[in-house]
Structure 1
């Protein structure tokens, strides 16, 4: 997928859902752990050199797996290339769990599933479709039938 560099840089400056200095090791063989400022903004995970304002990279958190590794560490891999893993080391197990939870909830697909779930719950309670007032209740992306198990 291609992105506009200026738009990504602007997005990286937005308030982060989470941000911290973590140890990070890229997917290349022989890669070593380096301290990086890591910022979660919407469904992008930006990483920066600790002394620079511009990101050196970004991961789009779609179709990915977040896996707990050794104590205080986790990895992110992508479904199209599961061998390509990014490893992160946290200061504590608590911080590790917080990051993993936030990353798992950052994808568009997770947000879509949550919207559909709560839409159905509200509809059961009130008998009305809460999306109807916005004129989007019939759009395919908001239908339960579009979900994959």
Structure 2
């Protein structure tokens, strides 16, 4: 995936849905205890559907100027890891590389649950499914699909029950009110509208 480093760094400075200190390790074998390399402590920051992580130095200070990396949370699967032998762990895999797991270790079970549920709710797939559910509920109550209303269809409102379409716009403009007066010539209509303003 291509992205602009400066824009991504600027985006990482925004307000986070959730942020905190987690231990992190990626594994290609699928088991956190069988992989080489150490577990690194990082500061994670969830902004929209982007999970940024930042380095923490030996003193414990967080370098928030430049993120060390970012996960785009689309086509991902996240779950609590109960059988890893490591307490308070959860993992994330991506559909394009299911053999590689990213492990995260928190300090308590509540923190794990909070991260897992917040990350699941931050994905585009989840937000789209919620939109479809709300769209169906509104359609069942009103008989009108809210996504087919103005401005997408230029004022045409579709009623699903009777198959009728209303051609009037669902809003009024000051221009439409002024042009309803009938005058003989176009020039007098324009002058009449200017005078009324």
**TM-score under structure 2 length normalisation:** 0.65
- 1:67-123: CA deviations, max 9, x gaps? 211341101111111111111011111110111011111111211111111111111
1:52 lines up with 2:58 in the alignment: no
User: What are structure 1's unaligned runs of at least 5 residues?
Assistant: 137-149
Residue matched to 2:80: 68
**TM-score under structure 1 length normalisation:** 0.85
Q: Which runs of at least 4 in structure 1 moved beyond 4 Å after TM superposition?
A: none
Number of matched residues?
A: 136
CA shift, 1:43, in A, is 0.5
1:121 lines up with 2:133 in the alignment: no
Residue matched to 1:37: 43
Higher relative contact order (CA 8 A, sep 6+): 1
CA RMSD of aligned residues (A): 1.5
Partner Cα distance (2:151, 2:7) in 1: 28
1:108 lines up with 2:119 in the alignment: no
Partner Cα distance (1:122, 1:3) in 2: 37
**SS where residue 133 of structure 1 aligns?**
coil
**SS where residue 3 of structure 1 aligns?**
coil
